[in-house]
Chains A and B, each alone.
Chain A
Amino acid sequence: MKESKNLRWIVPSIFILPAVIILVVGLIVPVIQAFYISFFRWDMGTPWTSAQFLGLDNYKRMLADEGVRTSIWVTLRYTFWTTTIEMLLGIAFALALEKPIKGASVFRTIFILPLMVSPVVVGLIWKYMLDARTGVINYYIEAIGKAIPFLQNFGFERHSFLGEPQLALPALIITDIWQWTPFIFIIILAGLQALPAEIMEAAFIDGANWLQMTLWVKLPMMLPLIIVTLLMRIIDVFRALEVIFIMTFGGPGQSTNVLSLKIYRTAFQSQDLGYASVISVILIGITFVLSLGILLYNNPAKVEGS
Chain B
Amino acid sequence: MQSFASKSNTIEKKPSKFRIKWFRVLHYIMLITLALIILGPLYLMVLTSFKQQVVIMSREPVWFFVPTVHNYQHIIEEEHFLRHLLSSLAVGLTSTVLTLFVSGWAAYAIARMKFPGRGLMANTTLVVRMVPPAVLTVPIVALWGAWELSLANGTSIFSGINNAYVSWINSTVLCTSSSYWLEAVCPLFSDGLTDGRLGLILFYSALNLPFTVWLLIGFIRQIPVDLEEAAIVDGATPFQVFNKILFPLLKSGYAVAAIFTFRIAWNEFLLALILTGRNSYTLPVKTTLFIRESGVQWGLIMAMGTLILIPPMLLTFFSARQIIQGMTAGAVKG
Is the beta-carbon distance between A284 and B132 smaller than 8 angstroms?
A: yes
List chain B residues, Cβ under 8 A from A26.
Answer: 202-203, 205-207
- Chain A residues within an 8 Å CB radius of B103: 19
Determine the chain B residues whose CB is within 8 A of the CB of A120 once the complex forms.
267, 269, 284, 287-288, 308
Task: Mark each residue of chain B from 127 to 139: 1 if its CB lies under 8 Å from any CB of chain A, else 0.
Answer: 1111111111111
Interface-lining segment among A62-70, A147-155, A164-172, A297-305: A297-305
Cα A19 to Cα B312 with chains together (Å)? 26
Q: Is the interface of A mostly helix, strand, loop or mixed?
A: helix
Are B138 and A277 touching (Cβ within 8 A)? yes
> Among the listed stretches B56-64, B71-79, B161-169, B184-192, which one makes contact with chain A, having 4 or more residues with CB under 8 Å of it?
B56-64
Residues of B within 8 A of A18 (CB): 101-102, 105-106
What 1/0 flags go to A5-41 for Cβ under 8 Å of B?
0011101110110111011011111110110010000
The answer to whether B202 touches A44 (Cβ under 8 A) is: no
Within residues 239 to 253 of chain B, which ones have a CB less than 8 A from any CB in chain A?
242
The reply to whether the CB of A229 lies closer than 8 angstroms to some CB of chain B is yes
- Residue A59 at the B interface, CB < 8 A? no
**Residue pair A101, B24 in contact (C-beta under 8 Å):** yes
- Least CB distance, A221 to chain B, in whole angstroms: 13
Nearest Cβ on chain B to A61's Cβ, whole angstroms = 16
| Of A111, A124, A126, the contact of B38 (CB 8 Å cutoff) | A111
CA distance A17 to B233 in the complex (A): 26
Q: How far does the alpha carbon of A27 sit from the alpha carbon of B38 in the complex, in Å? A: 34
Cβ contacts under 8 Å, B284 to chain A = 118, 120-121
A94 to B221, CA, bound (A): 29
**Complex formed: what's the CA distance from A44 to B315 in Å?**
40
Q: How far is the CA of A26 from the CA of B128 in the complex (A)?
A: 11
Interface of B toward A, CB cutoff 8 Å:
1-4, 6, 24, 27-28, 30-31, 34-35, 37-39, 41-42, 44-45, 48, 56-61, 98, 101-103, 105-106, 108-115, 118-119, 121-123, 125-143, 146, 149, 202-203, 205-207, 209-210, 213-214, 217-218, 221, 225, 228-229, 232, 238, 242, 263, 266-267, 269-270, 284, 287-288, 298, 301-302, 305, 308-309, 312-313, 315-317, 320, 323-324, 327-328, 330-332, 334
Please report which residues of chain A, range 223-245, place their CB below 8 angstroms from some CB of chain B when the two chains form the complex.
225, 228-229, 232, 235, 238-239, 241-242, 245
> What is the predominant secondary structure among interface residues of chain B facing chain A?
helix
User: Given A22-B202, A26-B202, A110-B38, are A305 and B317 also a contact pair (CB < 8 Å)?
Assistant: no
Tell me whether A93 and B111 are in contact (CB under 8 A): no
Whether B123 and A133, one on each chain, are in contact in the complex, defined by CB atoms closer than 8 angstroms, is no
Please state if A113 and B141 are interface contacts (CB–CB under 8 Å). no
7 more A-B residue pairs beyond the given contacts A31-B135, A112-B316, with a C-beta to C-beta distance below 8 A: A9-B115, A12-B113, A31-B139, A116-B313, A133-B57, A232-B330, A300-B217
Distance in angstroms from B143 CB to nearest chain A CB is 7
